[in-house]
A and B are shown apart, each in its own frame.
Chain A
């Protein structure tokens, strides 16, 4: 592999990682369901680009089908709730649910401290081992055919289980979709 293409892949890797974090943080902290959903989908797309960086782009398409359905359902839910929320009602609710400044700070500070402490402990415990591990980059692009062959030869039970559940879930969708008496 040429130096330029290697450099391009590294740049894309950094861009997708930073895009993932930035869009995820924006999704977490921004108010408004549609904005959250937009940035959440963006973070999913950056994660998809990461798949290509790891030479497993086909994963993005295989898993993406189900993930798209998930985002569609979430979008329908968010749109439905926001559609019936007029501007005045929204402001009234915001005032009711808004916390005091101290409450807001505590709600961010406490989880942050807990996660930082956990992160430090984990880093301290695993750094000795991880620093000794040397990775060797190998380039091998996965194809759908290889994956399908492996799935059907070694993991056919899991495939059958998953497909059966998809059929059975269709019945459940029928149950949920019917009107109540």
Chain B
């Protein structure tokens, strides 16, 4: 036992990475096999390694505390982010195990999935720019390899996969250039060096940040550059879309959080014009996402657009910070809450809609007609998950109203409130459009019950219960009732 603790201290904070790497190593001995027994064995190994990595990630932080070296940084934020990556990978393992088990390259695909999780963890814990950049580039590469492997037999998706991944290549190249500017400013090698330096307001740093901002904008396929993303999601297999939604995008959000402090420094000093710019961009992105979702009848496109809407919320948070409504700490907290909401709601919703598409053979929203009459339990869960998207707005709008005068910029606050109100109205229309479709009469008259596997009910209920629990806690906190969680409050993020 002492030996294990000694080893754990030596490899801190890379315990989760080492466990995942061991799993990749074991899988490599079975990589070329196509036998089902070996596939099931590897699924079990991968599952155990992900659970162990999740546990070790939290245990290492509790036992050893914060960790910082020339290459790595490991604090509270990193623990949460690594946990989210591992949780996401666990869900992706489930999807790939269900939908791709008959594929000849199943074990190789699992190895790629684990390696992409390893690269994602490195992106999160990297303190030095070299390690950060290398792990980011290799992460993009493994995601590309995963998407290509998962869509091996779908020829119509291949041009769209290429069109999609040529964009993150540009992102990575722009990062390379941006880091050269950071290096030129004052030989900066890590974010901590910049934040603690007197040269933080160097023009080369500002130029580098602009380039990083453009690179991230392209990485997320925000309006009006969403063409390859929509094309790929429409034509690819569900497991490939799940990799994009629940691994590629979350890592992008974590990169955004990594640069958050630096952006907040410049935004805090900026003029009113920067606030207006952020507001306009956020409004356009979120509105375009909603309009795109309303005007299409394809479920995949609806989900893709709504995902872009939630990505636009990060820009909205920046504009709220620049208008002085929220502090930089709360910007980070709201961003983390947004990522959690996206993962906890989109994972079950997309998996249900994928099953519906498989059963009906069509991606059209008309395929949902009558779904609510035959699968009432699943639909109740879906309604709860959809309505959870409106929760943040119900909290933020009254908060903004209460802080309007104290923050100073009344006109900006009114404009922001109007923006949030408009996009929430559109989001509500989208949500109720889908819910109404659940209870519409199907065109043929008879409704065929879609058979979900039994574990699916437990799987969906798990996410619904988490969201319900968090919602109830938030409501109790807002009402001033004691929740028994001690000094920790979900809604109290140092506004």
Q: Do chains A and B touch in the complex (CB under 8 A)?
A: yes
Residues of A bordering B, CB below 8 Å: 122, 125-126, 128-130, 154-155, 157-158, 161-162, 164-165, 168-169, 171-172, 174-176, 178, 180-181
CB contacts (< 8 Å) of B207 on chain A: these are 122, 125-126
Contact between B115 and A158, CB atoms less than 8 A apart: no
Interface pairs (30), CB distance under 8 Å: A122-B207, A126-B207, A129-B203, A130-B203, A155-B130, A155-B131, A157-B71, A158-B131, A158-B134, A158-B135, A161-B119, A161-B122, A161-B135, A162-B138, A164-B21, A164-B24, A165-B138, A168-B112, A169-B141, A171-B31, A172-B108, A172-B148, A174-B32, A174-B108, A175-B108, A175-B148, A176-B148, A178-B104, A178-B105, A180-B153
B33 interfacial by beta-carbon distance below 8 Å? no
Known: A155-B71, A161-B122, A165-B141. A180 touches B152 (CB 8 A): yes
Contact between A181 and B138, CB atoms less than 8 A apart: no
CB contacts (< 8 Å) of B149 on chain A: these are 172, 175-176
CB contacts (< 8 Å) of A176 on chain B: these are 148-149
Task: For B131, give its contact among A122, A157, A169 (CB under 8 Å).
Answer: A157
- B contact residues, total (Cβ < 8 Å): 32
CA distance A176 to B32 in the complex (A): 13
Known: A125-B206, A129-B202, A168-B112. A162 touches B145 (CB 8 A): no
CB contacts (< 8 Å) of A130 on chain B: these are 203
CB contacts (< 8 Å) of B142 on chain A: these are 165, 168
Contact between A162 and B134, CB atoms less than 8 A apart: yes
CB contacts (< 8 Å) of A175 on chain B: these are 105, 108, 148-149, 152
CB contacts (< 8 Å) of B111 on chain A: these are 168, 171
B204 interfacial by beta-carbon distance below 8 Å? yes
> What's the least CB distance linking B43 to chain A, in Å?
17
Known: A155-B71, A162-B138. A168 touches B115 (CB 8 A): yes
CB contacts (< 8 Å) of B31 on chain A: these are 171
CA distance A164 to B122 in the complex (A): 14
B70 interfacial by beta-carbon distance below 8 Å? yes
CB contacts (< 8 Å) of B135 on chain A: these are 158, 161
- Interface contacts (Cβ under 8 Å), in number, total 71
CA distance A9 to B345 in the complex (A): 61
CB contacts (< 8 Å) of B153 on chain A: these are 180-181
Contact between B206 and A161, CB atoms less than 8 A apart: no
Contact between A129 and B204, CB atoms less than 8 A apart: yes
Contact between B138 and A161, CB atoms less than 8 A apart: yes
| Cβ < 8 Å to A, chain B residues 334-378 | none
CA distance A122 to B71 in the complex (A): 32
Contact between B145 and A172, CB atoms less than 8 A apart: yes
| Cβ < 8 Å to A, chain B residues 86-122 | 104-105, 108, 111-112, 115, 118-119, 122
Contact between A165 and B115, CB atoms less than 8 A apart: yes
Look across to chain A and name the residue whose beta carbon is closest to the beta carbon of B134: A158
- 5 smallest beta-carbon distances between A and B, as pairs: A172-B145, A126-B203, A129-B203, A158-B134, A175-B105
Contact between A169 and B145, CB atoms less than 8 A apart: yes
CA distance A158 to B32 in the complex (A): 27
Contact between B152 and A158, CB atoms less than 8 A apart: no
Look across to chain A and name the residue whose beta carbon is closest to the beta carbon of B131: A158
> What's the least CB distance linking B211 to chain A, in Å?
10
CA distance A119 to B100 in the complex (A): 49
CA distance A79 to B207 in the complex (A): 40
Instruction: Name 13 extra pairs, CB < 8 A, besides A172-B112, A180-B153.
Output: A125-B203, A125-B206, A129-B203, A130-B203, A165-B119, A165-B138, A168-B24, A169-B141, A169-B145, A175-B105, A175-B149, A176-B148, A178-B105
CA distance A178 to B115 in the complex (A): 22
CA distance A169 to B142 in the complex (A): 8
CB contacts (< 8 Å) of B71 on chain A: these are 154-155, 157-158
CB contacts (< 8 Å) of B145 on chain A: these are 169, 172
